Amino acid sequence: MTRISAFADDALGDRDAVGIVEALEHGQVSRPELVEAAIARTEAVNPTLNGMAYEAFDRARARAAAPRPYGGYFDGVPTFIKDNVAVGDMPTMQGTDAWDPRPEVAHGDFARAYLATGLVTLGKTRLSEFGFSASAEHPRLGAVRNPWHTDHTAGASSSGSGAFVAAGVVPIAHANDGGGSIRIPASCNGLVGLKPSRGRLPLDRDVRRMPLRIVANGVLTRSVRDTAAFYREMERVYRNPDLPPIGDVTGPGRNRLRIAVCTHSIAREASPEVREVTMKSAALLEELGHHVTPIDNPIPDQFMGDFLLYWSFLSFALVRGGRRTFGAGFDRGRLDNLTLGLEAHAARNLHRLPLATARLARTRRITAALARDYDVVLTPTLADAPPRIGHLDPTADYRQIIERLVDWVAFTPLQNATGDPAISLPLGESEDGLPIGMMFASTVGQESRLLELAYELEQAQPWRRIQD
Q: What is the pLDDT of residue 426?
A: 98
Q: What is the pLDDT of residue 351?
A: 97
- Whether 113 is covered by a domain: the verdict is yes
The answer, yes or no, to whether residue 55 has pLDDT greater than 90, is: yes
Q: How far apart are CA 368 and CA 362, in angstroms?
A: 10
Q: How far apart are CA 191 and CA 434, in angstroms?
A: 12
DSSP helix/strand/coil, 121? strand
Q: How far apart are CA 291 and CA 108, in angstroms?
A: 43
- Whether 453 is covered by a domain: the verdict is yes
What's the rounded mean pLDDT across residues 434-442? 98
Catalytic positions, please? 82, 157, 181
| DSSP assignment string, 264-298 | B-SS-BPPHHHHHHHHHHHHHHHHTT-EEEE----
Separation of CA 49 from chain center: 17
The domain spanning residue 161 has which CATH number? Answer: 3.90.1300.10
Q: What is the pLDDT of residue 67?
A: 78
Give strand pairing partners of 121. 79
How confident is the model over 182-210, as pLDDT tens digits?
A: 999 999 999 999 999 999 999 999 999 99
Angle at the Cα of 336 from the Cα atoms of 150 and 56, rounded to 5 degrees: 60
How confident is the model over 142-183, as pLDDT tens digits?
A: 999 999 999 999 999 999 999 999 999 999 999 999 999 999
- Whether 9 is covered by a domain: the verdict is no
Q: What is the pLDDT of residue 405?
A: 98
The answer, yes or no, to whether residue 442 has pLDDT greater than 80, is: yes
Residues contacting residue 254 through CB under 8 Å, at least 6 positions apart: none
Confidence category of residue 71, pLDDT binned at 50, 70, 90: confident
- Whether 4 is covered by a domain: the verdict is no
What's the rounded mean pLDDT across residues 423-446? 98
- What does DSSP assign to residue 193? E
- Whether 467 is covered by a domain: the verdict is no
- Whether 10 is covered by a domain: the verdict is no
Q: Contact at 8 Å (CB) between 147 and 185?
A: no
How confident is the model over 403-412, as pLDDT tens digits?
A: 999 999 999 9
Give strand pairing partners of 218. 175
Confidence category of residue 1, pLDDT binned at 50, 70, 90: low
- Can you give 230-248 as a three-state secondary structure string? HHHHHHHHCCCCCCCCCCC
Confidence category of residue 69, pLDDT binned at 50, 70, 90: low
Residues contacting residue 446 through CB under 8 Å, at least 6 positions apart: 197, 244, 375, 421
Name the H helices within 371-432: 398-409, 413-418
What's the rounded mean pLDDT across residues 99-103? 96
How confident is the model over 255-294, as pLDDT tens digits?
A: 999 999 999 998 899 999 999 999 999 999 999 999 999 9
Q: Total structural domains in the chain?
A: 1
- Whether 12 is covered by a domain: the verdict is no
Tell me the HSE value of 287 on the side-chain side, using a 13 A CA sphere.
10
What's the rounded mean pLDDT across residues 118-145? 97
- Whether 468 is covered by a domain: the verdict is no
How confident is the model over 12-32, as pLDDT tens digits?
A: 999 999 999 999 999 999 999
| DSSP assignment string, 3-65 | ------SSSSTT--HHHHHHHHHTTSS-HHHHHHHHHHHHHHHHHHH--EEEE-HHHHHHHHT
How confident is the model over 373-413, as pLDDT tens digits?
A: 999 999 999 999 999 999 999 999 999 999 999 999 999 99
Q: Contact at 8 Å (CB) between 217 and 203?
A: yes
Specify the pTM. 0.98
Residues contacting residue 290 through CB under 8 Å, at least 6 positions apart: 256, 257, 258, 259
Computed over every residue of the chain, the mean pLDDT equals 97
Range of the domain at 110: 17-460
